[in-house]
Amino acid sequence: MATSVSYPTPGPGPAPVVATAGIQAPVQASLWSDAWRRLRRNRLALVSAVYLVLLVAVALIALVHTPYSYRDVGVARPYSGPSGANWFGADILGRDVLSRLMVGAQISLIVGVGTQVLVLAVGVPIGLLSGYYRGLFDTVVAFIINVFYGIPDLLVAMILLLLLGPSLNNIIIAIVATRWMDMARLVRGQTLALREREFIEAARSSGAKPAKILFGHILPNSLGPIIVQATFGVPAAILFEAFLSFLGIGVQPPTPSWGSMAADGLAAIRIAPHMVIFPSIALSLTLMAFNFLGDGLRDALDPRQKR
């Protein structure tokens, strides 16, 4: 039984825990209901899921209402700590930290989820095609993947942003450009293993079109590892943006990202630690939640589990 090991994505943030997945037998209804049952029993994953739902709610609320406008300067004395008027204090320009955290949630979710959606859109088809058809296309793709496997993605992203200029869109592009390879690699591996299986052979000989084989048979059987990889990719992307913000090429003002809020607050950490603490907690909780959820999904979808 072939095992495909997908390496944790190398990057500025710590690599997520190794996701190992076995190749399962043809999809059965019981896999998903089994998985769901196991996931429900994982308390940590449940709590994380609840937290994330709340986070999305906060992000949505921020679209219509925040205590202050996130960009209003001087609503409180700069550097002032938490108070009745400003629950999380004020930042270097006297803006309300809580309001900025709420809008920052939008940015984190957009960056995190947006990049993974694009990574899926780019990496999955390439991986499928590459693994199924082999040939020149596969050689080229494999070559690209192997070369870039050894290049730190932060460095490449920095160069890309140097050229494109920092903005939310460009950051997403830069992250996707450095991350799609991991997904393609995973999917390619899965495809390579699956295409030799009998049920694929059967489908082929019964005249099924390649598209149907790819998307109707191979893809559904690889969904588990793909979902897990994407789930781990979200916190990695959010952390990536935080690093870019620290280096000055992250999301630009007035848009607040948790990373840029923390980075800007570093200089004043000794007189106004709240400027760093609250964005950092927001980041940590969110990253932890995604990581625990990923762990839970991986365990739930692992068919080697006996329970």
Q: Site residues (CB under 8 A) for another protein?
A: 5, 7-18, 71-74, 78-79, 92-94, 147, 150-155, 158-159, 162-163, 165, 235, 239, 242-243, 246-248, 252-254, 259, 262-264, 266-272, 276, 280, 283-285, 287-288, 291
Query: Given the complex with another protein, which of 132 and 240 has the nearer CB atom?
Result: 240
Place of tokens 């991350």: 179
Alpha carbon distances (Å) from 141 to 4, 136, 138: 18, 9, 5
Alpha helices in the chain (DSSP H): 29-41, 43-64, 97-133, 135-149, 153-164, 168-194, 198-205, 210-212, 219-246, 258-265, 274-301
Instruction: Give min distance, CB of 158 to another protein, in A.
Output: 5
Query: Given the complex with another protein, which of 138 and 182 has the nearer CB atom?
Result: 182
Instruction: Give min distance, CB of 40 to another protein, in A.
Output: 21
Query: Given the complex with another protein, which of 203 and 281 has the nearer CB atom?
Result: 281
Query: Given the complex with another protein, which of 131 and 235 has the nearer CB atom?
Result: 235
Token pair recorded at residue 252: 């630009």
Instruction: Give min distance, CB of 102 to another protein, in A.
Output: 18
Place of tokens 């609250």: 278
Instruction: Give min distance, CB of 184 to another protein, in A.
Output: 16
Place of tokens 């916190």: 235
Instruction: Give min distance, CB of 152 to another protein, in A.
Output: 4
Query: Given the complex with another protein, which of 116 and 291 has the nearer CB atom?
Result: 291
Biggest CA pair distance of the chain: 74
